[in-house]
Structure 1
């Protein structure tokens, strides 16, 4: 056998051995997800603007229970496939009225066996919709949680036609604005820290200010939300430069907007992410034409999940980001009519699912 053939045979055998070893490696996997559950209101009249979702306006106990059942059907399936049989270990949610609706949700027979715990705070949103955090107790143990308020004042971010707009808002008591203090009320950002199978991880759940009044006019509010999100992450990095952070939510902005690209500093490519940086896998998905919601026949990805740099180091001795997805099964999609192809949304007259598709990522870790 000549020298060249000997080298080739050695490389061939070595490659086979390495491939065999790689195939023998086994990984743990957890699904982390986010879902805008669209107006998850109970039937009880409370001190918020929930009149649309009350029995006298058609939102009955039967419809509320059907809405809960529909959402549980979605949750039990998010991220499941041939490789992952388990429902989400972690689920961030938004547009929930109170803790009670989350308690009803986790008791639904489809997901009751998952034994989800709940983290929830009432937010200052005048419609009474909040963010929340669900976790499977057997996998995740919270060690701390806090709601971080977003303080925005109209005279700081929008001076154009201020007096005219103040007068207009005074006639609309359901808007999230106080004409006296000039504060724009919106959802808090929820920070949860805990142990995922023994490893410390951090989650931030968001529902940023809406585009009410127009995208351009309302953009400064979401830019402020992006800066707050970054401030929370920087505070975690100051304590631990290797902090593993996942920020998720309905941002009411796309992956390309200033609030995400500059406020958070999210990057499209892993190679662009430096220490203390954030990777956004949903930016490429948006470029590929995917969507989590539709408006006027135009799709976009407002529901996003981003991970801090330690998640993309390919160090599988700890939890690492693997891949992301949008849960848009056929049963969640309108099949006819004007909104064919849109998410099968909810309304007081007909309990559907949501006007948003859930999103998720997989975390993996090598089993020893």
Structure 2
């Protein structure tokens, strides 16, 4: 009998606590800051994020939950407390404070009954010749049911805030660092199971993902030591995870070929998708649809400016 196992990734859009951290640029997300970030608004965000986690894979919730734009352990613990209040008690997390100047990190929440952490490490990315600091890449090695070892890489590439051309080389560099770490694992064993989840701030066709990271977009043939983009087929149909002058697929799930060809794992591109129920969407007066974000000019009380993505697999 196959055992179901699932992953999700969610860029939570500025999931900050309300306290000022003097070491990061989080002033806007304080009660006196420009966003008037209050305890009430924070608690509402926690409730909303927990709802998404509960709804994305009913009747269960994902075994592995990758998160981006997480300020610190306080906000993760707030999520875990809310989950426990709803009867979800077996979850723990992995998080490291990164040098990102905004204090926005990646993290992982996981079901401690179905996933055992063997090793975890933050991969520091030093952007050459650039003063700006960026997020670490989180690398976690663990065991899932069936004594199957997997390597997880959770990432959040530099944003396009300063314009695509100006920021592009930063994403190239992070993609190169990620590729080096992934292929260190594959050089030791080409049959390792690797899953990369993240917000790449680029689409599958952009050079950082397509050429630098070297991700395949077709699935015939499958080579065990190559990387494959499970959401590319959705992207080709015009489906995205965030919106800027149209839908963009910045949030992606990438796996090693062995995940797709292993005799122990049933993993297919059609098992991955974007979660987009109506409550996560905003419909404007021009009938345009975009993510129901927390801030849209001012505070709107939405969920995030990204939609979550997920992957369901079956362990044989």
**Alignment counterpart, residue 44 of structure 2, candidates 55, 61, 66:** 66
Where 2:313 maps in the other structure, the secondary structure is strand
CA distance in 2, matches of 1:346, 1:338: 20
Secondary structure at 2:161 match in 1: coil
Alignment of 1:200-349 (within 5 A): 200-296=149-245, 298-313=246-261, 315=263, 318-322=264-268, 323-337=271-285, 340-347=288-295, 349=299
Q: Aligned to 2:26, which of 50, 69, 74?
A: 50
Which of 111, 132, 138 is the equivalent residue of 1:136?
111
Tell me which residue corresponds to 2:75.
101
Distance in 2 (alpha carbons) for counterparts of 1:59 and 1:226: 33
- Residue 307 of structure 1 contacts residue 321 of structure 1 at CA under 8 Å; is this kept in 2? no
TM-score by length of 1: 0.80
Aligned-residue Cα RMSD (Å) equals 1.6
> Separation in 2 of the partners of 1:149 and 1:253?
20
Q: Secondary structure at the match of 2:119?
A: strand
2:101 and 2:132 in contact (8 A); partners too: no
Structure 2 unmatched ranges of 5 or more: none
* Structure 1 portions without partners, runs of 5+: 1-25, 155-181
Deviation for aligned residue 1:282: 1.3
Residue 90 (1) aligns with residue 64 (2)? yes
Deviation at 1:115, TM superposition (A): 2.2
Can you list the C-alpha shifts for 1:146-172, whole angstroms capped at 9, x where unaligned? 000111123xxxxxxxxxxxxxxxxxx
Q: Does 1:39 align with 2:49?
A: no
Distance 1:206 1:354 in 2: 17
Work out whether residues 63 and 350 of structure 1, in 8 Å CA contact, stay in contact via their aligned partners in 2: no
Q: Which moved more, 1:127-136 or 1:145-154?
A: 145-154
User: What TM-score comes out, normalization by structure 2 length?
Assistant: 0.93
Aligned residue number for residue 354 of structure 1: 304
**Is the 2:222–2:261 Cα contact (8 Å) retained in structure 1?**
no
Tell me if the contact between 1:146 and 1:191 (Cα under 8 Å) persists in the aligned partners.
yes
| Alignment-derived partner of residue 145 in structure 1 | 120
Corresponding position: 1:27 with 2:2: yes
SS at match of 1:227: helix
SS at match of 1:107: helix
| Distance in 1 (alpha carbons) for counterparts of 2:238 and 2:170 | 26
Alpha-carbon distance in structure 2 between the residues aligned to 1:183 and 1:115: 40
Say which SS state the counterpart of residue 152 (structure 1) adopts.
Answer: coil
Relative to structure 1, is the Cα distance of residues 337 and 96 closer, same or farther in structure 2, using a 3 angstrom cutoff?
Answer: farther
More helix by share: 1
Q: Which has the larger radius of gyration?
A: 1
